[in-house]
């Protein structure tokens, strides 16, 4: 199962997220759940960088692990854009979770 954890600040803003595991929906290379989660999460990171200039701290490995942490104390106007992009990622992940509940679980932590 894919485990997606969204870490929020006390005010509710996304500070980081971590995604790990495999969906095991289909064979490697044919797994639409893994592909969807990868596309949504990596696309969000790329959008944050391309559209706001913010470079998050990224960690990843070949076993399906991805971690993204935002820099602290971003200017408010930039942070609003970053938050909108990451909230869009959360909505997309939740859409995948609704359809493939046995293969992905999203949790939120403060």
pLDDT band, residue 62 (cuts 50/70/90): confident
* Fold (topology level) of 2-109: Alpha-Beta Plaits (3.30.70)
Parallel/antiparallel/unpaired status of strands 57-60 and 14-20: unpaired
Where helices occur in 14-103 by DSSP H, the ranges are 32-52, 76-99
The residue annotated as part of the active site, out of 22, 60, 68, 103, is: 22
Sequence-ordered list of residues with C-beta below 8 angstroms from that of 70, at least 6 positions apart, any chain = 14, 15, 16, 54, 56, 57, 82
Mean pLDDT along residues 66-88: 97
- 22 noted as active-site residue: yes
Q: How far is CA 24 from CA 4, 13, 57, 80, 104, in A?
A: 15, 31, 28, 35, 10
Q: What is the pLDDT of residues 8-30, one digit of tens each?
A: 999 999 999 999 999 999 998 89
Q: Which residues contact 49 (CB under 8 A, 6 or more apart)?
A: 55, 56
pLDDT at 97 over 90: yes
Q: Average pLDDT, stretch 63-81?
A: 95
Rounded mean pLDDT of 82-96?
98
Q: Strand 66-69 relative to strand 14-20: parallel, antiparallel, unpaired?
A: antiparallel
pLDDT for the residue numbered 29: 87
Mean pLDDT of 41-60: 97
The verdict on whether 49 is a catalytic residue reads: no
pTM of the entire predicted model: 0.94
Active-site residue, from 34, 60, 68, 103: 34
Q: Are 76 and 88 in contact (CB under 8 A)?
A: no
Nearest to 45 by CA among 16, 15, 68: 68
Tell whether the model's pLDDT for residue 52 goes beyond 90.
yes
More confident residue, 78 or 62: 78
């Amino acid at each position: 199962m894919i485990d997606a954890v969204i870490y929020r600040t006390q005010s509710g803003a996304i500070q980081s997220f971590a995604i790990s595991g495999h969906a095991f929906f289909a064979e490697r290379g044919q797994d639409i759940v893994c592909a969807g989660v990868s596309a949504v999460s990596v696309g969000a990171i790329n959008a944050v960088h391309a559209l706001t200039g913010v470079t998050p701290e990224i960690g990843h490995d070949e076993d399906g692990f991805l971690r993204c942490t935002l820099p602290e104390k971003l200017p408010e106007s930039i942070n609003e854009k970053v938050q909108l992009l990451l909230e869009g990622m959360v909505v997309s992940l939740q859409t995948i979770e609704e359809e493939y509940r046995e293969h992905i679980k999203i949790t939120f932590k403060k």
